Amino acid sequence: MFDQFSQCMQQGGIGYCLTSPLSYPFMRNGMIEAALVGLICGVIGCYVVLRGLAFLGDAFSHGILPGVVIAYLLGQSVFLGGLVAAIIIGAIIALLSQNRRISEDTSIGIIFAGAFALGIVLLSSQRNYTSSLTTILTGDVLGVGPNDIILTIIVGAIVIGGVALLYKEFLLTSFDRAMAAAMGFNLGLLDLALIVLIALAVVVSLQALGNILVLAMLVTPAATARLLTDRLSRMMVIAGMLGALEGVVGLYTFFYVKVAAGGSIVLLSTIVFMLVLALSPKHGGLAWLRQRRARTSA
């Protein structure tokens, strides 16, 4: 399984192992894209985790499938197709939620499953249906070109810039809504801004991670970071760096172990989360055991 890795270790040691994949343009681009996507999703993912918006993120990533499929069939930008679909399903969910007999999570469930089905139906008319579906659902980080990277940088700047500019607004509205309202902050507008930033992060990550795996990068690095710090600003820095690092290491895994790139990135982030959960000094399993022992002996 690690044949290629041990071969390259013999040839030139760890430094050679780390640099030799970079001689392939698809690996270079893939790594840059994976790091960018990990960074963007890690940072905005902090709010997804803290506000309990994982289901909404999931709805976006699945619900935009028809837009992605149409863009794919027409040979157009996946980003544009996803963005248009995100706007449409966001608006439909908001409208449905106005009906007091349908709760917000119910309307999210209905719309995202329905939209996902529409995407599958649209794609199933194609001859190479199965392989296309796999590419769309799990992404193709190695097929990323320079233009995709530029787009990711622009959208990433908007997402991270938005989070930085509205730092105190998002912090207060997430921590204490009553106080935020009393200070005159517009809760509805700020919530909308946050959802737009989340949708942008999801859509820009599609190319690299696909509709299904993007949720993991939106949730797992942020959840890992939460275990390591009690301050929002630090949590964002840690989550962003973790996401980027996991993206890069995931691609090395692909290169040396010959397994799917997107899956490697997500699996890696899950393993890191589990390790941190077990070992983190304050909130982890070891700390829990220590506290329990202290309590029983007291």
Partner 1 sequence: MATPIDIHTPIKSDDPANSSSAISVRGLSVRYGDRLALDNVNVDIGWGTIVGVIGPNGAGKSTFLKAILGVVPHRDVSLLIGGKPQSVGRKQIAYVPQREEVHWDFPVTVEDVALMGSYGRLGLLGRPSTKDRELARWALDQVGMLDRHHTQIAELSGGQQQRVFLARALVQQGRILILDEPLNGVDASTEETILHLLDDFRKSGGTVLMATHDLDIAARVSDDLCCINRTIIAFGPTAQVFTPQVLARTYGGKIMHTHGQHDIIIGENGSVGVNPQHVHEHPQLIPNGGVETKDKAET
Residues near partner 1 (CB under 8 A) are: 50, 165, 168-169, 171-172, 174-179, 181-185, 226, 229-232, 234-235
Helix (H, G, I), strand (E, B) or coil at 62: helix
Residue whose pair of structure tokens reads 């529409």 in the numeric block: 118
Q: C-beta of 186: minimal distance to partner 1 in Å? A: 11
Which of 92, 241 has the CB closer to partner 1?
A: 241
Which residues does 270 contact at the CB level (< 8 Å), separation at least 6?
216, 220
- Exposure on the CB side of residue 150, measured as CA atoms within 13 A: 3
Q: Toward partner 1, which CB reaches closer, 16 or 175?
A: 175
Nearer to partner 1, 74 or 182 (CB): 182
Shortest Å, Cβ 276 to partner 1: 15
Nearer to partner 1, 50 or 196 (CB): 50
Radius of gyration of the chain (CA): 21
Query: For residues 170 and 233, what is the distance between their CA atoms, to the nearest angstrom?
Result: 12
Q: State in angstroms the smallest separation of the CB of 51 from partner 1.
A: 9
Kindly state the smallest distance separating residue 280's Cβ from partner 1, in Å.
Answer: 13
What is the C-alpha to C-alpha distance for residues 211 and 259, in angstroms, rounded to an integer? 19
Q: Which is nearer to partner 1, 177 or 292 (CB)?
A: 177
Q: Which residues contact 283 (CB under 8 A, 6 or more apart)?
A: 226, 227
CB 237 within 8 A of CB 246: no
Smallest distance, Å, CB 175 to partner 1? 4
Report the C-alpha gap between 129 and 123 in whole angstroms: 6
CB of 262 to partner 1, least distance (A): 29
Instruction: Provide the residue type at 93 as one letter.
Output: I
CA distances from 116 to 67, 81, 119, 122, 176 (A): 10, 14, 5, 10, 35
CB 78 within 8 A of CB 68: yes
The residues near 276 (Cβ < 8 Å, ≥ 6 apart) are 224, 227, 228, 284
Choose between 234 and 290: whose C-beta lies nearer to partner 1.
234
Q: In this complex, which beta carbon is closest to partner 1, that of residue 179 or of residue 257? A: 179
Which lies closer to partner 1 via its Cβ, residue 94 or residue 165?
Answer: 165
Q: How far is the CB of 102 from partner 1 (least distance, A)?
A: 16
Name the nearest CA neighbour of 33 among 79, 72, 84. Answer: 79
Token pair belonging to 155? 């959208």
User: CB of residue 46 vs partner 1: minimum separation in angstroms?
Assistant: 9
